[in-house]
Amino acid sequence: MVVVLEHDIRDSHKQRIREFLEQHGFQVREIVGVEETIFGAVGPVSIDIRNVEVLPGVDKVVPISKPYKLASRELKKSDSVVHIGRIAFGGPRMTVVAGPCAVEGREEIMEAARIVRKSGAVMLRGGAFKPRTSPYSFQGLGEEGLRYLKEAGEANGMPVISEIVSPLHVDMMRDYVDMFQIGTRNMQNFELLKAVGAAEKPIMLKRGLCSTIEEWLMAAEYLLAHGAEDVILCERGIRTFETYTRNSLDISSIPVVKKLSHLPIVVDPSHATGIRAKVPPVARAAVAAGADGIIVEVHPDPDRALSDGAQSLFPEQFEKLMRDIEAMTPVVGRELMRLPEPQENRPAFRGTDRTEHEVVRVAFQGARGAYSETALLRYFQSRETVPTPVSSFRDVFTAVLEGHVEYGMVPLENSLAGSVHENYDLLLQFPDIRIVAETQIRVEHCLIGRPEAELGHIHTVYSHPQGLAQCRAYLEESGFKQMPYYDTAGSVAWIAGCNDDGVAAIASADAARIYGMKVLREGIEQNPHNYTRFAVIARLEHPDVDRPNRCSLVLSTPDSPGALSKCLNVLASYELNLKKLESRPIPGKPWSYMFYLDVEIPEDMSRFERGIAEFASYTEDFRLLGKYRV
Ligand code: PEP
Ligand code: MN
């Protein structure tokens, strides 16, 4: 059952409730949520819930109807996020685990780790105990393999995961792995589940070859009931009558599990298909269906792999898959989790005494919950971040310049509304500030009401005029009165303070969460291709970005025939690729224009430097706004 505690409950009452439940044979777990704190009470006992309801400090008691209790969404409404050091499974990130099927030797796993890390994997996989169909197939290197796996993970800054097949291995393996994997064949090995559940380590639980979703969630329940705090589910295909692929991936299990459980779910496209060429499309489908990550087999030389070579990706296929996933994630409102560059290349703010401070403060314009805040939380996801709202774009620049924050996040361009000229102008006005990175988010508008609001009773909707305009079709059809507000997230704060359940706002789901409001309708924007590109800005003293591949420039040209074309010819002759060109009137100089350019930086840095120097010689005014990686 779920025991919802009163908001201002006293510690002594909390303690009494816990003791009461434990005395009656329940296991009690405290879950602190944004909206409420609950005790989840489970056990092989039953009780008249009225005896709990009358205890001081109890708001209400809700029975859990499903056979799995701790794994159930009824117990915990918000998505669980499993953290392993800097990486996480669940939440707004897509997490990619990669590596060979089996650890075959020190050199092989070192090479595999280097390759997958370079392409962007954040966790390393590799089996040391291989449950093979034939006793004559390679069985894994056992503890020696785990030693190599750990070494390879550490050398590349990645946590590691490996399969456990026996309760006798728990203590030995605990020192080597960051996450236990329970394989498909052992999903219902209940003694193994009990032992691994008690091991105080995160666990990835693969779906059994022939298991229903309910059996799978019951196996997760075993882990949770025996003490596991962090469980991730892994859909890896099930047996069907189809023989073309090794298994049949049950893609619909992703949304089904998301509805039934709060646990993160990842997909293993390698064991699901068994055929290398089928792995990338199936992995992309998993991303589209809402998986929290994928675990994929990659081998430095798959033709020589000792196990599962036919389904292991070549390194270049994995690199391509990572790029595809990165391109797809904004469409499903996510961001691909990337580990920061190794320490020496990591952008840390220099120039104040806060040099290597782990917490980064990032200024953005608008109220809490603004789309800029979503962008910065996603971009700085691997670091502890303090979003700092300020009231104007100029204030973002000033906060960065004066060192009140390490970074600022400002929108540069929206795919529907075009450039945010004010920020380009500010980049010119603040020569001590430059762009150090860029990030994009997909703008998804929600209709947000007060906690008790009903869609049928809404009469008036507040939002920024652009938010209203981007949802015009939906608003016209609904017949709501439209009221402009100075920003989207601010309109949510405004309805939170209203005493009328008939008012609503248009903003992001993040804004609804931050102000404790309710999402009444998601995705009400007319055009789903609504992206905003943001710049991360920092002071000039910020260390150079490692291997930049894009730069932004602003320039004006002499007032003479062919001036712009001469500049562009220089770019062409140095084979420098132009990604954006936009003209804009120069403030105070009617009918004179400056140009904004984004140029790709090639691998050959010296060609770029020479090209840009010559290019600059043809301009009148030239400013480099930043070199960064996209
Ligand atoms: C594996 O991940 O190497 C493995 C054996 O997977 P499964 O248990 O899904 O077959
Ligand atoms: Mn395998």
Q: Look up the CATH number of the domain holding residue 242.
A: 3.20.20.70
Answer yes or no: are the C-beta atoms of 625 and 612 closer than 8 Å: no
Please indicate, yes or no, whether residues 121 and 217 belong to a single structural domain of this protein: yes
Three-class HEC string of 31-54: EECCCCEEEEEECCCCCCCHHHHC
Please indicate, yes or no, whether residues 222 and 136 belong to a single structural domain of this protein: yes
Tell me, what's the pLDDT at 331? 84
Please indicate, yes or no, whether residues 136 and 278 belong to a single structural domain of this protein: yes
Mean pLDDT of 146-165: 97
Residue 410 lies in a domain: no
Please indicate, yes or no, whether residues 100 and 230 belong to a single structural domain of this protein: yes
Please indicate, yes or no, whether residues 110 and 29 belong to a single structural domain of this protein: no
Residue 346 lies in a domain: no
Residue 189 lies in a domain: yes
Answer yes or no: are the C-beta atoms of 263 and 80 closer than 8 Å: yes
Residue 418 lies in a domain: no
Residue 352 has pLDDT above 60, yes or no: no
What are the tens digits of pLDDT across the range 485-494?
988 999 999 9
Q: Using most ligand atoms within 8 A of CB, pick from 160, 181, 270 the residue to mutate for ligand 1.
A: 181
Structure tokens that stand for 504 in this block: 């609503």
Residue 472 lies in a domain: yes
Q: Using most ligand atoms within 8 A of CB, pick from 133, 163, 203, 311 the residue to mutate for ligand 1.
A: 163
What are the tens digits of pLDDT across the range 568-604?
999 999 999 999 999 988 766 777 788 999 999 999 9
Residue 74 lies in a domain: no
Encode 600-629: b = buried (16+ Cβ within 10 Å), e = exposed: ebeeeeeebeebbeebbebbeebbebbbbe
Distance in angstroms (rounded) separating the CA atoms of residues 589 and 328: 42
Please indicate, yes or no, whether residues 221 and 305 belong to a single structural domain of this protein: yes
Listed residues: CB within 5 A of ion ligand 2: 101, 308
Tell me, what's the pLDDT at 34? 66
Residue 101 CA to ligand 2 centre (angstroms):
4
Q: Which residue has the higher pLDDT, 410 or 589?
A: 410
Q: Which domain holds residue 150?
A: 82-336
User: pLDDT > 70: what percent of the chain?
Assistant: 97
Among 529, 561, 583, identify where a domain stops: 529
Please indicate, yes or no, whether residues 209 and 312 belong to a single structural domain of this protein: yes
Residue 137 lies in a domain: yes
Position 499 confidence tier, pLDDT thresholds 50, 70, 90:
very high
CATH number for position 511: 3.40.190.10
The residue nearest atom 3 of ligand 1, judged by CA position, is: 101
Please indicate, yes or no, whether residues 280 and 133 belong to a single structural domain of this protein: yes
Please indicate, yes or no, whether residues 172 and 313 belong to a single structural domain of this protein: yes
Tell me, what's the pLDDT at 587? 66
Position 417 confidence tier, pLDDT thresholds 50, 70, 90:
confident
- Ligand 1 atom nearest residue 186's Cα: 8
What are the tens digits of pLDDT across the range 27-78?
999 988 767 889 999 988 888 999 999 999 999 999 999 999 999 999 998 8
Q: Which of 100-104, 348-352, 385-389, 429-433 is least confident?
A: 348-352
Backbone angles phi, psi at 556, to 5 degrees: -125, 160
Please indicate, yes or no, whether residues 206 and 289 belong to a single structural domain of this protein: yes
Please indicate, yes or no, whether residues 454 and 566 belong to a single structural domain of this protein: no
Residue 357 has pLDDT above 80, yes or no: no
Q: How far is CA 197 from CA 27, 220, 490, in A?
A: 15, 9, 44
Tell me, what's the pLDDT at 342? 47
Tell me, what's the pLDDT at 346? 37
Answer yes or no: are the C-beta atoms of 524 and 429 closer than 8 Å: no
Please indicate, yes or no, whether residues 507 and 573 belong to a single structural domain of this protein: no
Residue 316 has pLDDT above 80, yes or no: yes
> DSSP per residue over 298-309, as a string?
B-SSGGG-SS-G
Residue 353 CA to ligand 2 centre (angstroms):
49
The residue nearest atom 9 of ligand 1, judged by CA position, is: 184
CATH number for position 36: 3.30.70.1140
Residue 320 lies in a domain: yes
What are the tens digits of pLDDT across the range 84-127?
988 999 987 899 999 999 999 999 999 999 999 999 999 999 99
Total of domains in the chain? 4
Residue 215 has pLDDT above 90, yes or no: yes
Position 336 confidence tier, pLDDT thresholds 50, 70, 90:
confident
Residue 40's closest CA among 70, 10, 72, 82?
Answer: 70
CATH number for position 597: 3.30.70.260
